[in-house]
Amino acid sequence: MSEAEQAPVSRAGYVAIVGRPNVGKSTLLNALVGQKVSITADKAQTTRHRILGIDTQPGVQFVFVDTPGYQTKHSNALNRVLNRAVTTALADVDVVLWVIEALRCGPDDRKLLSLLPANKPVILVMNKVDRVERKNDLLPFVAEVSKLRDFAAIVPVSATKPIQLDVLRAETAKQLPEGEAMFPEDEVTDRSMRFMAAELIREKVFRLVGDELPYESTVVIERFDETSQPGRIEVHANLLVASESQRAIMIGAGGERIKRIGTEARKGMEAMFECGVHLELWVKVKSGWADNEAGLRAYGYD
Ligand SMILES: Nc1nc2c(ncn2[C@@H]2O[C@H](COP(=O)(O)OP(=O)(O)OP(=O)(O)O)[C@@H](O)[C@H]2O)c(=O)[nH]1
């Protein structure tokens, strides 16, 4: 990137968004970055990969690291890898946004807070304030949670409305080091199209399979071919599940469900990539993979 292309910023740095599943981390990231780069779903733990979203504002560039949902209920190898990913992602960030839901700070929230490095500035983000009916309830809640750590700032927000996101930006900017922009202004994610294709499929699986399957299913892109046909991308993907019964759930009666997952994922890809997409999906049983760390590494969850 030449100097002429660089946005005139005076601060730039890495921001991690952490919080227990479902507090709204992906929604917040999307609201801040202004374009869909991560996925959201009502089901917990949809974000397994580290995703970068970049928000360039006058005078400041935020590079967001969206860490995996922190899981405390199950403790198989998958969760150990996920929890380790939280710690790894935090090692080189400049500021951590610890997201909780307004009026709710349970044992899972506190446990995650206790894992945050003592020497990192942490901003407490109270999301979903739009749901709080009596705003007077916020003050005693803030007084209580502010005792948990010496926070750099405490900001009530709503990622969906949106409310107070500018205040959150301003408080976050204060914690970033002085320096030039690290990425071109129009760059919203460093993830490849192949990765985004997998994310789109995974999002549809979460939406359409819902609570019937545990989260132990994953998407592996076997083929991603942009070159053999002009204006059309060929995508072959495997949906890996843990058992035959999970396979049956994923496929659905008469193949209805997998067909819908495929159709919706394809439409999402066509909108995102702005070209035609041919998508082929297979559901495969990969028994015991969620308990096997070597297997997980092979699928890129390290
Ligand atoms: N009312 C309200 N709902 C919100 C807000 N932010 C997020 N949500 C909803 O909360 C749910 C979870 O949001 P996500 O962004 O997927 O949560 P997450 O923390 O990324 O979840 P994991 O990927 O499981 O860790 C979704 O249904 C969102 O629409 C908010 O500010 N207000």
For domain 3-174, is the CATH number 3.90.79.10? Answer: no
Whole-number Å distance, alpha carbon 158 to ligand 1 midpoint, is 10
Phi-psi region of 288 (alpha: psi -120 to 50; beta: other; left: phi over 0): left
- Provide the residue ranges of all domains of the chain, joining segments of one domain with +: 3-174, 193-298
Q: What is the pLDDT of residue 95?
A: 94
Residues contacting residue 95 through CB under 8 Å, at least 6 positions apart = 13, 14, 15, 16, 120, 121, 122, 123, 152, 172, 175, 176
Q: What is the pLDDT of residue 243?
A: 84
Domain 193-298: give its CATH architecture.
2-Layer Sandwich (3.30)
Identify the residue whose C-alpha is closest to ligand 1 atom 6. Answer: 24
Q: What is the pLDDT of residue 18?
A: 86
Q: What is the pLDDT of residue 4?
A: 45
Q: Which residues line ligand 1 (CB under 6 A)?
A: 19, 21-27, 40-42, 44-47, 69, 127-128, 130-131, 158-160
Backbone angles phi, psi at 59, to 5 degrees: 85, -5
Residues written for the chain: 302
Whole-number Å distance, alpha carbon 18 to ligand 1 midpoint, is 12
Q: Which residue has the higher pLDDT, 241 or 2?
A: 241
Tokens 């035959």 belong to which residue? 244
* DSSP classification of residue 65: E
Structure tokens, 5 = 């292309």
Binding-site residue numbers for GTP are 19-26, 66-70, 127-130
Task: Write down the ipTM of this complex.
Answer: 0.97
Indicate whether this model's pTM tops 0.95.
Answer: no
- Among 57-61, 92-96, 179-183, name the one with the lowest average pLDDT: 179-183
Structure tokens, 228 = 């053999």
Whole-number Å distance, alpha carbon 180 to ligand 1 midpoint, is 32
Q: What is the pLDDT of residue 188?
A: 54
User: Which of 8-12, 64-68, 77-81, 223-227 has maximum average pLDDT?
Assistant: 223-227
Rounded CA gap, 237 and 161, in Å?
35
> Is 230 strand, coil or helix?
coil
Residue of 18, 23, 26, 27 with the most ligand 1 atoms within 8 Å of its CB, for mutation? 27
